[in-house]
Amino acid sequence: MAARRPRSRRPAFAAAAVVASVALAAGPRAAAGAARTDGPPAPAPPASAGAARPAPDPPAFGAYLDYGPPGVARIAELGRWLGGREPRVGHTYLPGDRWSNIEGGAGFLDVWAQWRRQRADRMLVLNVPMLERNEAGVPDDEVRALLREGAAGRFDHHFRALAEQLVRLKAPDTVVVLGWEMNGTTYTHRCGPEPQAWKEYWNHIVTTMRSVPGQEFRFDFTPTRGRDAIPWTQCYPGDDTVDIIGMDSYDQPGGMSFDEQVKEPYGLQEHVEFARNHGKPISYPEWGLFRNGDNAAYMERMLAWMGEHKPLYNTLTDYCPHGVWQCHDNPRSSEVYRSVLSGRTGEPVPEPTAPTRPPEPTAPTRPPEPTAPATPRPPVGCPAAGLGDWIEYWLGGDVCAHLGRWPREP
């Protein structure tokens, strides 16, 4: 993903991690099996005098760890690093290179759905592109035409196929982060070229996916923090088709203090107030370090902010330069994160342990679409099915149209 436009600001310091620890522990339970609601959960009635207060539910947190099966496996590993507090949110992305992959093609979602089904309190968060060629640098004029086609319903069948697959996989309560960071310039599914068509297209997609029997999806409207290319409020499609109002928020631009991230136009404070005014819970599908390096003060303040405002869920982007477990470049921030999330604030914290596989390469906000290695062609007499590089990467080779998969050569 291309880097966002930097903005120069001054640095500042942050609150203590112990504040974040106490506040974060009070986060609401967000059971993945719960039916969609039109607003945040009602507050619990006050405890009567002398009555024992129930222990607070742990916050719904997770981290982006990998697109595919390694990401699922690493959830438990991250939990062990956190002293046994296993994340209950799994977060992945559908690639936006072609429509067949936006439909969740070739069994990519199976392992994630299986993980979700293993425990009732788990939550699957799935970023879904709204258009193919989503990171191909499509010019504004073409984006405008595509958004108008989407608003007219031309692409509805792709999203019906995705919804049917999620229901078939028994993951009907998936949180769908649809068309994320639409207020920027990186993605083909951006809002700026024609906001009205974008909103109508969003509504078409949500209406189509909700029409599938058995679905319980929740749809998360998630811009990037700040104004970016267009104020994200101009892209909001309406309360009827939005269940959660999220925000992707990284420690950037260089020199911007956390207080400025809160107060900037369309920043963290405006996000919270906008969601409150619309009766929606908030979320942070992507957050983490970035332009200001290993910034323990940012980590403390962001955790404290989430402890105070209680998002439905949050998922840290855990690869360099943003992360704290798979990325060893941020030891001070790693110590803060592990201390707060494990509930061991104030105790000595060991160095992060390496995951089972090396971290993802450095990228600005999330990994690029998976790049498949060169794939051998089927032998003579075996016509290729032409499923595309991304699918062949997961299958381990091309597919014969008549004979099935042939093995990749060692």
In a domain, 106, yes or no: yes
pLDDT, tens digit, for every residue of 328-371?
Answer: 999 999 999 999 999 864 444 444 444 444 333 333 344 444 43
Looking at the structure, do residues 207 and 93 belong to the same domain, yes or no? Answer: yes
Q: What is the pLDDT of residue 106?
A: 79
Domain range for 400 is 371-410
Tokens standing for 117? 């089904």
What does the alpha-carbon distance between residue 297 and residue 14 come to, in Å, rounded to a whole number? 5
- Looking at per-residue confidence, does 370 or 263 come out higher? 263
Q: What is the pLDDT of residues 119-157, one digit of tens each?
A: 999 999 999 999 999 999 999 999 999 999 999 999 999
Same domain, 304 and 387: no
Most confident segment among 37-46, 264-273, 378-387, 399-408 = 264-273
The pLDDT value recorded for residue 343 is 81
Cβ contacts of 380 within 8 Å, gap of 6 or more:
none
- Give yes or no for residue 10 having a pLDDT over 60: no
Q: Could you give the number of structural domains in the chain?
A: 2
Residue that has been written with the tokens 């409020």 in this structure: 233
pLDDT of residue 99: 98
Instruction: Based on the fold, state whether residues 395 and 319 are members of the same structural domain.
Output: no
Tens digits of per-residue pLDDT, 164-191? 999 999 999 999 999 999 999 999 999 9
Is residue 37 assigned to a domain?
no
pLDDT tens string 190-200: 999 999 999 99
Query: Average pLDDT of the chain?
Result: 79
- Please tell me the predicted confidence (pLDDT) of residue 58: 53
pLDDT class of 372 with cuts at 50, 70, 90 = very low
Q: How is 352-382 classified by DSSP, letter by letter?
A: PPP-SSPPPPP-SSSPPSP-PPP-PPPPTT-
Check whether residue 128 and residue 168 sit in a common domain. Answer: yes
- Looking at the fold, whether 208 and 163 belong to one and the same domain comes out as yes
Position 348 in a domain: yes
Regarding whether 225 and 278 lie in a shared domain, the answer is yes
- Give the CATH number of the domain where residue 179 resides: 3.20.20.80
8 Å CB contact between 221 and 242: yes
Determine how β-strand 399-400 pairs with β-strand 404-405: antiparallel
Q: Is residue 36 part of a domain?
A: no
Residues 264 and 407 in one domain: no
pLDDT tens across 208-231, in order? 999 999 999 999 999 999 999 999
> Which pLDDT tens digit goes with each residue over 80-100?
999 999 999 999 999 999 999
**Percentage of residues in the chain with pLDDT exceeding 90?**
68
Shared domain for 402 and 295, answered yes or no, is no
pLDDT for 109 equals 97
- Determine the Cα–Cα distance for residues 304 and 98; give it in Å rounded to an integer: 39
* 390 shares a domain with 271: no
- CA gap 202, 221 in Å, rounded: 10
The 3-state secondary structure of 172-199 reads CCCEEEECCCCCCCCCCCCCCCCHHHHH
- Is residue 33, in this structure, part of any structural domain at all? no
265 is a domain residue: yes
Q: What percent of the chain has pLDDT over 70?
A: 69
Alpha-carbon span 50 to 61, nearest angstrom: 32
Q: Nearest Cα to 12, choosing from 357, 360, 324, 292? A: 292
With CA atoms as reference, report the closest residue to 101 among 372, 313, 353. 372
Q: What angle do CA 74, 77, 81 make, to 5 degrees?
A: 135
What's the pLDDT tens digit per position in 291-326?
999 999 999 999 999 999 999 999 999 999 999 999
Whether 42 is covered by a domain: the verdict is no
Structure confidence at residue 401 (pLDDT): 39
The lowest-confidence range among 330-334, 377-381, 401-405 is: 401-405
Domain assignment of residue 222, yes or no: yes
pLDDT value for 119: 97
Compare 111 and 401 and report the one with higher pLDDT: 111
For residues 260 and 401, state if they share a domain: no
Helix H, strand E, coil C: the string for 117-166 is HCCCCCEEEEEECCCCCCCCCCCHHHHHHHHHHHHCCCCHHHHHHHHHHH
Is residue 265 predicted with pLDDT exceeding 60? yes
- Do 97 and 161 fall into the same domain? yes
Q: Provide the pLDDT for residue 105.
A: 83
Query: Does residue 46 carry a pLDDT above 50?
Result: no
pLDDT over 80 at 393, yes or no:
no
- Considering the domain architecture, whether residues 265 and 379 belong to the same structural domain is answered as no
